[in-house]
Amino acid sequence: MTESKTPPDTNELARLRALVADYETKLTAAASLVARVRHEINNPLAALLGQAQLLLREQDLSEKSRQRAETIESQAKRIEEIVGELRDIQTPVHAINRQDE
């Protein structure tokens, strides 16, 4: 006995397409939010990192102050790397081909 494939339910296909469209919209919004967050973190982070590096160039900086500036610099670089990783999830969602075959 051969099995015949039944055509998919039109209502179910419409529901699934609507669900996919909803998720695409949400993913696009999330990607946009990630881009804004990255931008808002990177601006003050660049200033913080720059100031720490300027401090480290000073010749008369005490050893304790130098250690503190190095800590600020290393932690700022760590944040920079973490924020950079967000770029991977910021990519735009590609539209799914919804044409019937």
With respect to residue 38, please indicate whether it lies within any of the assigned structural domains.
Answer: yes
Q: What is the pLDDT of residues 14-23, one digit of tens each?
A: 899 999 999 9
Q: What is the pTM of this model?
A: 0.66
Q: What is the count of structural domains for the chain? A: 1
Q: What is the pLDDT of residue 4?
A: 58
Query: Nearest Cα to 54, choosing from 45, 66, 41, 64?
Result: 66
With respect to residue 62, please indicate whether it lies within any of the assigned structural domains.
Answer: yes
With respect to residue 30, please indicate whether it lies within any of the assigned structural domains.
Answer: yes
Q: What pLDDT band is residue 88 in, cutting at 50, 70 and 90?
A: confident
**Gap between the Cα atoms of 78 and 87, Å rounded:** 15
Q: By the 8 A CB rule, do 45 and 74 touch?
A: no
Show the domain range for 54.
Answer: 21-90
With respect to residue 7, please indicate whether it lies within any of the assigned structural domains.
Answer: no
